Amino acid sequence: MSLHIAFNNLAALRERCETATVRTAKQDPAYEEESVVPSGLWQPLREADCLSQAVRAWTPATTLVEIVRPPAPSKEGLEHLARPLGDVDAQYLGQALSKPNMITTTENYRDGRLIGLHLDNWDKLIYGQKPRGRRRLAVNLGPGSRYLIVGALDAQGVCRAVHPGDYAYRYPSTDDYRKHVAAGHPIRVYRIRLAPGEGYIAPTEYLLHDGSTEGQDHPSVAAFWLGRWVSGTLPSLI
């Protein structure tokens, strides 16, 4: 499986999405060594790109990226925002403040360096179970716009490429992507713009990803949840 984005309006997807390749961060004090970051050469999305990412009849909801309008926070607080969405066990992960003009946004809490594009590992799933992980719900609380960046090569695909002899016994990881890119293999990524109040549901345990505020003049705060939501739980923005 690979990246699949749910959309009803091809023009709406192209209006808010761009594509690029990735590179390895080397001797950059802001990043962990060998981190995977976008090349920076963002290009408009072609119609063929959109069609290649379209949802297929066999695409599991657990591997689907949806660009959505989350409910507005209530007086009960953000912890309860996901409660009415169908998963009573949804987990609130908290908030993250991103400064303006960051190529990627996630830091290693131990030393403050950026980790670049990465895989989440909340569910700690082995290769064969990786597509079954929970998806992440995110909402941009503003005040600025931000981006979701996602990679087209899924965790199973990169694990097979890096560990051809024993991939079935591996736990796909961010390091697999770093080794794959460092060896010269291309990965295409997609950058999707999210205005304040907009959000996504995405398989961040299965797809290379991170947030970005590149080119934005204002900071933004994002709030996050993990859960199991069927496709179409929230209204699509595209």
Q: In 3-state terms, what secondary structure has residue 79?
A: helix
Q: What pLDDT is recorded for position 2?
A: 86
Question: Quick one: tokens of 150?
Answer: 């996602």
Give all strands (DSSP E) within the chain, no chain letters.
Answer: 4-6, 17-24, 36-38, 43-44, 64-68, 91-98, 135-143, 146-154, 188-194, 199-202, 207-212, 220-227
Cβ burial, residue 97 (10 Å; 0-12/13-18/19+) = exposed
Helix (H/G/I), strand (E/B), else coil: 30: coil
Q: Quick one: pLDDT at residue 51? A: 83
Q: Stretch 142-157: mean pLDDT, rounded?
A: 97
The length of the chain in residues reads: 238
Q: The dihedral of CA 57, 62, 63, 68: what is its sign?
A: positive
The predicted-structure confidence for 225-236, as pLDDT tens digits, reads as follows 999 999 999 999
Verify cis geometry, omega within 30 degrees of 0, for the bond prior to 219.
no
Q: Is the pLDDT of residue 1 over 70?
A: no
Buried b (16+ CB within 10 A) or exposed e, 2-33: ebbbbbeeeeebbebbbbbebbbbeeeeebbe
The rounded distance, in Å, linking the Cα atoms of 113 and 40 is 19
Rounded mean pLDDT, 108-116: 94
Q: What is the percent of the chain where pLDDT is above 90?
A: 86
Most confident of 24-28, 107-111, 152-156: 152-156
Q: What is the pLDDT of residue 121?
A: 96
Identify which of 69, 60, 70 has the alpha carbon closest to the alpha carbon of residue 4: 60
The mean pLDDT of 164-185, rounded to a whole number, is 97
SS3 label, residue 158: helix
pLDDT digits (tens, 9 = 90+) for 127-145: 999 999 999 999 999 999 9
Pairing mode of beta strands 4-6, 64-68: parallel
Task: Tell me the average pLDDT across 148-154.
Answer: 97
* Angle of CA points 233, 83, 192, to nearest 5°: 45
Average pLDDT, the chain: 95
Q: What is the pLDDT of residues 40-69, one digit of tens each?
A: 889 999 988 888 888 888 889 899 999 999
Buried b (16+ CB within 10 A) or exposed e, 181-192: beeeeebebbbb
Distance CA 214, CA 217 (A): 9
- The mean per-residue pLDDT over the stretch 150-155 comes to 97
- Domain map (residue ranges) of the chain: 4-70+89-227
